[in-house]
Amino acid sequence: MAEGGGEILVWELAYKSMIRSKHRTLLTFGGMVMAGVFLTLVLTANSGFGKVLSRPLRELVGGDLLIVPSGVTYGRMASGYPGIKHLPGQGPTILNYEALLRQAGQAPNVSLPNPGFIMADVFTRSGQMVPIMARDFRIAFDHHGFGSRLAEGRGFQPSDEGELVVLLSPRYQPTVPVGGRIELLFPRIYVDDGHVRYDYAQGEYHFLTVVGRYNFSLPFPTQVALVPFSTFCRLTGLPAGHSFFVSFSIQDFNYEAATVAWFRERLPDVRVFGPQDLYRIIVSGMQSEGLELGTPVFTVTFTGLMYLVAALIIANTMYLSAVQRQRDVAIMLAMGARPGQVRRTFLAEAILLSLTGSLTGYGLTSFFIFLSTAGRTDALGDLGAITLRNGAVIAAVTVLAAVVAGSLPAWYASRVQPMEVLRYE
Amino acid sequence: MSEPVWALSARGVSRWFRLDHQKITAVDKVSLDIPTGTIIALVGQSGSGKSTLLSLLGGLDRPSEGQVFLDGKLFGDPVLVSESQRAELRQRHIGFVFQAYNLISTLTAVENVMFPLRLAKLRPALCREKAMHLLGEMGVADRAKHLPSQLSGGEQQRVAIARAIVHEPGIILADEPTGSVDSKNGAIIMDLITGLCRKRGKTVVLVTHDPSVAEVADRIVHLKDGKIAGVEA
């Protein structure tokens, strides 16, 4: 005889208990819907702020823009940090990816031209990343990232050609003199079977010329920082040769400020921009659109409290359920159910109850956000960033809350002594 | 000649409880052998320990001392048998019928009958087929989709009997099975229990204080103050 899984029975019992105890279910469901609504609002606003933040620079640069906050690790970035657009598993991130796809799709086997400009830094061995901005090309040094090539010492060839960059890497400066050249490898990009492919073997080399070296102590000695000189000038409209962009991984704002000050002191004729300056450009852009960058602390705290209350509702509901259903549990145990099955049934019910509630909240909220922001091209439209990813986050948070809140009642339920309960009925 | 294998066997079984630092003995050193295929009635006054003994025989409770054997296998022991082991043996070998019916309130009649089969991990479709067949035999097939709260006492008890035998256990333990129904329904229920069990060769242990119910038994065990006061054939 074919076997039906014991776990299916557990979920089935949980489901039946949920739908046949309507009053209890509805009350808990209501609480979870509210929690889902608030978490959806916070997550949507968070994603929306990412888009709003990037708007002024998007307009400045044209096309998509990548903003990587200082100190964001590659792992975190690959997992989809809000506001970051990236190509999974391909190392450095591309910008204007849609344009790239369009170009590649229209002309298969086309090799993309060399970059128009770079204002970028690279991954370091510690996994730290510095802000990247680029346009119309994919930065692809090699499969291992630029850091490893530097470490092997193969990437530098003196040359008079190439763009001007400034190398801010004490560790590697001895190998690259001022006037030296840094070699970058760009892959041939083509479309094969509907997928965009990157062929490094047939790639194209590009050379950057180091025009400056600045020796200062970076938080991580293996860090590499390159600043294409002309590109930032082009971007900002500042005269070439008189501007400088300090771009490196900073986790300590005081240190960052000190470094920027250090540059300003030594380069009095140069306008020095740091990551905080970039941030201010973004904020001023937001303000010009009538938006304020509010602190998320209130909303996050409020949502956290909502979830705490929701978890307490679940715990209370499941505890009452465990008390009310002592006889049912005793019967199940008498029939031969294991205490573990009883525990899992209660946990499954807690998960089902909260998941349906919070996802309903997510669905309703997303629908109303969609209705109120659809068709808008202004910053408010950006704010309505509904993503399935947010739904997944809500589901995960809810399951966690349900498991935490339901564990004690589930354990309590499984401790029922069938003989004692059934004897006194 | 080899030792006979009893369906159930109690060896010096006692069960006591502590209440306000006072030791209350519910079952006191009871030894009892129950042959396969017989119907045994445990009778006695309220508080004589018959329901506690039934729980010990059915593995719902752990003896304070002594041992219980099921088909010759150790089933009840103060320390040697875990709750999981007892649960597994209960699920395979024992069916329970209670005075208060004790159907699972959130499951329909047919789902209640299917429950022991689902625990045995049979296919749901097969479980349903078997359950419906038995509900038909019990004359309550038309109430299959009703919740326990929508059934009368007699109907609930018939569903409970179907649930007790659906997984074909060798032993049926019934605690005052007619205690909550009227005499007409009581007679029907006893006919069902004895008829089904005789037809299928089950061992039945009944707890009752009703002499007319005890009459159907092959042996009547009288309990008094937790001890066996007498056995009549």
For A328, the closest of B106, B126, B163 (CB atoms) is B106
Interface with chain A: mutation pick from B86, B102, B150, highest number of A CBs within 10 Å: B102
Q: Are the CB atoms for A166 and A244 separated by under 8 Å?
A: yes
**DSSP letters spanning B153-170:** HHHHHHHHHHHHHTT--S
Residue A23 in contact with partner chain B when CB distance is under 8 A: no
* pTM confidence score: 0.61
Give the pLDDT mean for A19-47: 80
Identify which has the larger pLDDT, B184 or A4: B184
Q: Is the torsion defined by CA of A357, A358, A363, A369 positive or negative?
A: positive
Query: Does pLDDT of A406 surpass 70?
Result: yes
Helix (H) or strand (E) holding B22, with range, is strand B22-34
- Going by C-beta distance under 8 Å and a sequence separation of 6 or more, which residues neighbour residue A416? A326, A329, A330, A333, A342
Q: Which of A304, A394, A359, A313 is nearest to A33 (CA)?
A: A359
Confidence category of residue A85, pLDDT binned at 50, 70, 90: very low
Q: Within a 13 Å sphere around the CA of B10, how many CA atoms are in the beta-carbon half?
A: 26
Nearest to A3 among B51, B91, B121 (CB): B121
ipTM over the 0.90 cut-off: no
pLDDT of residue B2: 56
Task: Tell me which range, A110-119, A189-198, B12-21, is most confidently predicted by mean pLDDT.
Answer: B12-21
pLDDT in tens, A285-305: 445 544 444 445 566 677 778
Give the model's confidence band at A93: pLDDT under 50 very low, under 70 low, under 90 confident, else very high: very low
What pLDDT score does A1 carry?
36
Residues of chain B with confidence (pLDDT) below 70 = 1-4
| Residue % of chain A over a pLDDT of 70 | 36
DSSP B42-58: EEESTTSSHHHHHHHHT
Higher pLDDT, A138 or A379: A379
pLDDT given at position B133: 93
pLDDT at A351: 92
> What burial letters (b/e) apply to B14-40, b meaning 16+ CB within 10 Å?
bbbeeeeeeeebbbbebebebeeebbb
B179 touches chain A (CB under 8 A): no
pLDDT score, position B109: 95
A316 or A88, which is more confident: A316
Residue A2 is nearest to which of B83, B119, B123, comparing CB atoms? B123
Report chain B residues whose CB lies below 8 A from the CB of A335: 90-91, 96, 115-116, 119, 163
Checking if the pLDDT of A142 tops 70, the result is no
The packing angle between helices A275-288 and A253-266, to 10°, is 100
Tell me which of A63-67, A176-180, B154-158 is least confident. Answer: A63-67
**CA pair distance A37, A357, nearest whole angstrom:** 10
Q: What is the DSSP letter of A5?
A: P
Average pLDDT, chain A: 59
Quick one: CA dihedral A283, A284, A288, A292, positive or negative?
positive
A424 at interface of B, judged by CB pairs closer than 8 A: no
pLDDT at A257: 65
Is the pLDDT at A57 greater than 50, yes or no? no
Task: With cut-offs at 50, 70 and 90, classify the pLDDT of residue A7.
Answer: confident
List CB contacts of A96: < 8 A, sequence separation 6 or more.
A62, A63, A64, A135, A136
Q: Give me the pLDDT at residue A180, please.
A: 54
Any idea which residue has 């796809």 for tokens? A101
CA distances from B21 to B18, B24, B139 (A): 6, 9, 50
For position B61, what pLDDT does the model report?
A: 87
